[in-house]
Amino acid sequence: MKEFIHYALVLMIIAGVAGVSLHGVNQLTKDKITQQEREKLLAGQNIAYPGAASFSAAKEFSVKGKPATYYEVLDAQNAVIGYELQYAVQGYQSQVTVLTGIEPGGTIKAIRVLGQAETPGLGAEVEAIPTSETLWQAIGGLFSKKKEVKTETPIPAFQAQFAGKKLDQLKVVKEKTTENIEAISGATITSDAVTRAVREPIEAFLALQKQQTQQ
């Protein structure tokens, strides 16, 4: 009986120490993830609306009963020059989160996919950066002493299609187009998810603005 109590106490102590350690690791990991998400959002904000002096704090609104976030885009005099809308929808196998910069009338400045875990080589191509560099040039660059300085963040080809588009143009098609959004080959579901994550919050936000001006 004494041995049983002894072993039980030992197990309880081990479990307690493990629990405390796990909590500490989880907290450190959580803080790191939160910081990474904050940095990615800030980088996305500057891409979705280049030239902005600053952005307001996050403000909530609703899209088809689901939560969404918007930020006011401010110039150097703190005047509102546009908006950025953040919204997530279900893609092929993950949540796809998109930040969309729009002008006051709703025309898209640019978009940035903030988060996705779609199929590599298919849906994940929504974040693929176009390049004209050959394989041999890329290999040669690994051993080159002279490093090219990049001054701008390249925009993924799929995301670049959205710049300048209006609400009625946000339709995914499979053929070559400059009028609508051309789907990524083999990844129509993900292409549609990104497009919905852009279109739906714009619809809801413009309707909200119209309602507020009529009150």
What pLDDT, on a 0 to 100 scale, did the predictor assign at position 24? 53
pLDDT digits (tens, 9 = 90+) for 165-179: 999 999 999 999 999
pLDDT at 139 over 70: no
- The residue ranges of every structural domain in the chain are 38-214
- Which residue in this structure is represented by tokens 């006011």? 72
Q: How far is 71 from 5, CA to CA, in rounded Å?
A: 59
pLDDT at 141 over 90: no
pLDDT at 211 over 70: yes
Of the pLDDT bands very low, low, confident and very high (cuts 50, 70, 90), residue 138 is very low
**Phi/psi of residue 120, each to 5°?**
-60, 135
pLDDT digits (tens, 9 = 90+) for 27-68: 556 566 577 777 888 888 988 898 899 999 999 999 999 999
Give the DSSP letter of residue 209. Answer: H
Q: How far is 24 from 30, CA to CA, in rounded Å?
A: 10
pLDDT digits (tens, 9 = 90+) for 146-162: 555 555 678 999 999 99
**Is the pTM of the predicted complex or chain greater than 0.85?**
no
The closest of 99, 100, 114, 108 to 39, measured between CA atoms, is 114
